[in-house]
Chain A
Amino acid sequence: MRAIKCVITAPGIFEAVFEAHYEEIRRYIGRRLDPDVAEDLAAETFLIAFRQRERFDSGLGEVRPWLYGIATNLIGRHRRAEVRRYRALARTGPPPDDEGHDQRIVDRLSASVTVDRLAGALARLSQGERDVVLLIAYGGLGYDEVAAALGIASGTVASRLSRARTKLREVLG
C-alpha cells in the first residue's frame, strides 16, 4: 500500500494513472453534469491530483477512489446545475443524442424504471446522499472506497445510503 504514494509521485506513473483513469472520470462527471463540461472538469480533476500528489495517502485508499473524490468535490461546485439537469430529464426524458438511448430503449420499455422517474428521484436526494449512490452506481466503488473518496466514515456512507434507499424505493421498488 505504501508504494502507491511513491508511484503517484513519479511523473511517468502519473501519466499511466491518467491513461488508466481519465476516461472513466470524464464519464462519471459527464453523467452527473453535462458532457460539455465533463472534458474541462475531468482535466481539472487530474491537475488537482497532480498538484496534491504529495498529499495522497495510500493508507486511506487507492488512487482510483482518490480521483473520484476530487471529481465529486468539483461536481459539488455545480450542484445546482446537476439538480437542474435531473429535473429537465424528469420532464423530458433522455436527450435524443444520448448514445446509449437506442440500445437501451427496449430495456426501458420492459423495465418498470424509467429515466424521468429515476431522474426525479435523484433530484430529491441531498448532495451527500447522491454522491454516495452515484459513486457506487456510476463509479463501481465499494462502500469503503466511497468512504475514502469522500473522506467520511464508513458508518456515514451506510446511513446516507439507507436514507437514499428510502427515498429511491418508490421508483426502484
Chain B
Amino acid sequence: MNEFQVIDSVMPDVPPPSAEQLLAARERILAAAPVSHVSMAGAGRRSWTGMALVAAAVVLVVGVVVALVPRSSVEPVAVTPMQKLEAAAARLAATPEANGRYWRRDTEHVVRTKSDHGYKVEERAMEALAFGPDREVYGWHEPVSSKPYTAEDLKAWRRDGSPKLCPARGCDKNMPAYSSTDLEAGLELADGLKPTLTELRSLPKEPAALKSRLLESYRPQVDTERERWLKEAASRLITSPAAPGTRAAAYLLLAKEPGITVVDDVPRTFGLDGLALQEKTGQGVRQIVIDRKTGHVLGRQWLAPDGVHHHAEIVRKVGWSDVRPVPPAGCVRCTTRL
C-alpha cells in the first residue's frame, strides 16, 4: 500500500448520498442545464470525426432513453433488469478511455471466515494487477486487516484483550506482500486463449461478433466444455484492459448465455450496489455486479447455497495512466513479462 492509499484508507470517509439527496441534486443541476440553453456556437469548428462521434453518443443516449421510457404514457411498461443492463452497457461503450502507458486494476478482496481464535472474521486484502508498454506485468497481494464482523464476535474479541488477528498488515514483516496468482495468468482469458494486449484491445465491440471471435480459439480437446469455456473467457474480459465497447459487449454476451440471469436486487453485504449478472454454480451463486449509471464493473461476489455472502472482490480503481506501478518493498516475484 503506497502513501496515497494509506491516506485514502485512514482519513474519514463520507456516507454516500441518500436517494432523495441524489434526486434533489440531479433536479437542481439539470434544471439549470436545459436543452434550450445549449449553445451550438462552435459547431462549425467541429471536425467530421467529432460530429460523427457526437451523433453516435447521442444515438446511444437516445437508445438509453427509449429503453427506459415507457412506450405509452397511459400504460407504463416495466423496465426490466435486462433493459437496465443494455442501458448501462451503452453508457460504458460510450465512455472515452483515458490514455496512458500502464493499465492497472486495484481490487479489494473480502473473505468472511473463522479465525484461528474462533471469531467470525472478515479478512481484507488488496490485490494489484498491471500491464506495461514493454510486455511487463505487475501483480501483488497485500493483506490489510482481519476483524470480527458480528457484534458478538467483536465483543468476544475485545473481552479477550483484542488479540492481533492475522492475516493483516504488519503480521508478516518479512513478506508484507506477495506475488498475485493473476500475475502468471497475465492476459489469459481461458484455456488456449491468451491474446496480446494489442489483440485484446482490438476485440469486437458487438456481442455476436465477440462471441464468434472468442470461440475461434476454443479447442474441443481442452478440459472445459464449450459453454463454460466461453463464460469464463467473457467473465475475465470484463475486468481486463479490453476497450470499453468490448467489455460492454461481454456483458450482453454473458446475459444471453444459458444459466445466467440479470438481477437488480443484489444483497449489499459488501457494499456492492448495482445490476448483476448472476449464475448458479455447484458451490452457490456468483454475481458480477455492474454500476447502473456508468456501466463499469463494481466487483464480484459469491453466495453460499444457503444465501449467505462469503467472498467478494471489489474493484477500487481501474484504468490507464503514465504512472509505473511499484510493488511494495520486499515483494518477491511481483513482476514478470508476458
Enumerate chain A interface residues (CB-CB to B < 8 A).
Answer: 1-7, 9-16, 18-20, 22-23, 26-27, 30-31, 35, 38-39, 42-43, 46-47, 50, 54, 62-64, 89, 94-95, 98-101, 103-111, 113-115, 118-119, 122, 133-134, 136-138, 140, 142-145, 165, 168, 172
- Measured between alpha carbons, how far is A98 from B14 in the docked complex, in Å? 7
Q: Which residue of A lies closest to B166 (CB)?
A: A110
B14 touches A38 (CB 8 A): yes
Q: Which residue of B lies closest to A86 (CB)?
A: B11
Which of B14, B35, B50, B96: most chain A Cβ within 10 A? B14
Candidates B3, B28, B170; contact of A110 at CB < 8 Å: B170
Counting chain B residues whose Cβ lies within 8 A of the other chain, the interface size class is 35 or more
A54 touches B62 (CB 8 A): no
Near A by CB (< 8 A), chain B positions 23-41 give 25-26, 28-30, 32-35, 38-39, 41
Question: Is the C-beta of B322 less than 8 angstroms from some C-beta in chain A?
Answer: yes
Task: Decide yes or no: A46 and B29 within 8 Å by CB, A19-B293, A136-B4 being known contacts.
Answer: yes
Measured between beta carbons, the chain B residues less than 8 angstroms from A89 are: 12
Q: Which residue of B lies closest to A20 (CB)?
A: B294
Candidates B17, B41, B164, B322; contact of A144 at CB < 8 Å: B322
Against A, the Cβ 8 Å flags (1 = close, 0 = not) of B1-26 are 00111111111111111000110011
> Which of B141-149, B183-191, B241-249 makes up part of the contact surface?
B141-149
Task: Decide yes or no: A22 and B25 within 8 Å by CB, A5-B50, A6-B53 being known contacts.
Answer: yes
Question: Is the C-beta of B222 less than 8 angstroms from some C-beta in chain A?
Answer: no
Measured between beta carbons, the chain B residues less than 8 angstroms from A122 are: 7, 11
A18 touches B168 (CB 8 A): no
Question: Is the C-beta of B58 less than 8 angstroms from some C-beta in chain A?
Answer: yes
B7 touches A118 (CB 8 A): yes
Measured between beta carbons, the chain B residues less than 8 angstroms from A168 are: 3
Candidates A31, A47, A140, A143; contact of B29 at CB < 8 Å: A47
A137 touches B145 (CB 8 A): no
Q: Which residue of A lies closest to B294 (CB)?
A: A20
Question: Is the C-beta of B212 less than 8 angstroms from some C-beta in chain A?
Answer: no
B12 touches A50 (CB 8 A): no
A43 touches B29 (CB 8 A): yes
Near A by CB (< 8 A), chain B positions 72-104 give 91, 94-96, 98, 100
Q: Which residue of B lies closest to A32 (CB)?
A: B11
B33 touches A106 (CB 8 A): no
Which of A19, A42, A54, A89: most chain B Cβ within 10 A? A19
Task: Decide yes or no: A106 and B165 within 8 Å by CB, A6-B51, A23-B17, A137-B8 being known contacts.
Answer: yes
